[in-house]
Amino acid sequence: MEDVKGRIDQIVLIMDPILEDNEVPRNIKNVVRENKENLIKACEKGKEEIEMRIASAIYALEEISNDINMPFHTRTEIWNIISELEKLKEELK
């Protein structure tokens, strides 16, 4: 379980630059911030909660990745986050 928490911590760190980027629209930052907080909270609970929060984050991030107002570099970062979350989700099965 410590390995899972460590991986989530790494994923959360990838989210921070998006939240600090002035070019990223507020609605995108809000989705990233909300899912970052949910992933952190999930680490305090059990495996099932983590799996649910990961699935929820993947869905939400995929939704915003189609936003036409998203800067290209941010879209790439979102795709990287989704990829890492999907890897972790598969490992938890």
Q: What percent of the chain has pLDDT over 90?
A: 83
CA distances from 50 to 27, 72, 78, 84, 89 (A): 24, 29, 19, 14, 9
Q: What is the pLDDT of residue 45?
A: 84
pLDDT at position 71: 94
Q: Which residues contact 27 (CB under 8 A, 6 or more apart)?
A: 64, 67
Confidence of residue 4 (pLDDT cuts 50, 70, 90): confident
Say what the pLDDT of residue 55 is: 96
Specify the pTM: 0.93
Mean pLDDT in residue range 64-76: 95
**Contact status, residue 29 vs residue 17, Cβ threshold 8 Å:** no
Mean pLDDT of the 21-44 span = 95
Rounded Cα distance between 68 and 50, Å, is 30
Taken in order of first residue, the domains within the chain and their CATH numbers are 2-92 (1.20.1440.50)
Cβ atoms of residues 78 and 18 within 8 Å: yes
Q: What is the pLDDT of residue 77?
A: 96
Report the distance separating Cα 8 and Cα 84, nearest Å.
Answer: 9
Q: How far apart are CA 73 and CA 91, in angstroms?
A: 28
